[in-house]
Structure 1
């Protein structure tokens, strides 16, 4: 069976795309870790958050270790506990600044707003729609927001601890020094 040049070209391109995709999924790029369930935690670390600092500047961890981080915000501002490398935290700072700019987040918490949904088929009604309360969503798997006066738990299993930091990426907080490092033991 003889194939035409266009068929051979399409076959070659398809093969190259599949090879590249499988190379990307099996790459040896290091993972920083993942959220975990609280039960397998090997230990608990208590971290005090204040305006604008963490209670400690470094936390010792082992690769493969699961740690329960108990975060207590004793400050007047909301803070974030974000686990990542410096480059990803810089990008996350931009995202957080955009959330503040559009009013999704405030200095003390997530914004809540009321959106009026149109009523269908009801003609002229007063009010003209159905109110729906919408709250901001912060669902980054490697970060948690902690409002003033609250305590939250964040459980993390560490894979690669090289050059891994924890930081508050809310506007101005990182720049003011609200950053620490994970030290591999």
Structure 2
């Protein structure tokens, strides 16, 4: 008795997968938010010095996204963390537990950036109707010393 071995060619499956992938890439993203992907129209310059942000308050309209560019003119590293007072307090406690370790700031985190002396860093900030956002520095002792700025509603 002779047994025949048949080999199936994967080409029809490969072609079908390529076609599906091409259609998925070409289709518009129904869930996309064009405003989120658009570049901010406004950039706000903020200077970081040892234990202070200048200015101490910025104004951003509800839903408006601005680029905030931080320049560290101080002698120490500083960071900027965006959140309401509750988030600031939680982040401060987290940083105290990690002895000031800011693993990840500046490496893709959307709400925080660490800026070394003489360097600049940027965050995108979207205003809220309540104007309850703050930007705080959570290097050891900085937030407690008042290194915080208000993101006021327009």
TM-score (norm 1): 0.57
- Residue 48 and residue 162 in structure 1: after superposition, are their counterparts in 2 closer, same or farther (change >3 A)? same
2:145 pairs with 1:146: no
2:89 pairs with 1:90: yes
Q: Name the CA distance, whole Å, in 1 between partners of 2:83 and 2:130.
A: 9
Query: 1:161·1:182 contact (CA, 8 Å) conserved in 2?
Result: no
Greater share of strand: 1
After TM superposition, the structure 1 = structure 2 runs for residues 33-182 of structure 1, keeping only pairs within 5 Å, are 40-100=39-99, 105=101, 136-138=103-105, 140-182=109-151
TM-score (norm 2): 0.68
Query: 1:42·1:65 contact (CA, 8 Å) conserved in 2?
Result: no
Greater RCO, 1 or 2 (C-alpha within 8 Å, sep 6+): 1
- In the alignment of these two chains, the number of paired residues is 117
Q: Name the CA distance, whole Å, in 2 between partners of 1:141 and 1:166.
A: 13
Gap runs ≥5 in structure 2: 1-35
Gap runs ≥5 in structure 1: 1-35, 111-135
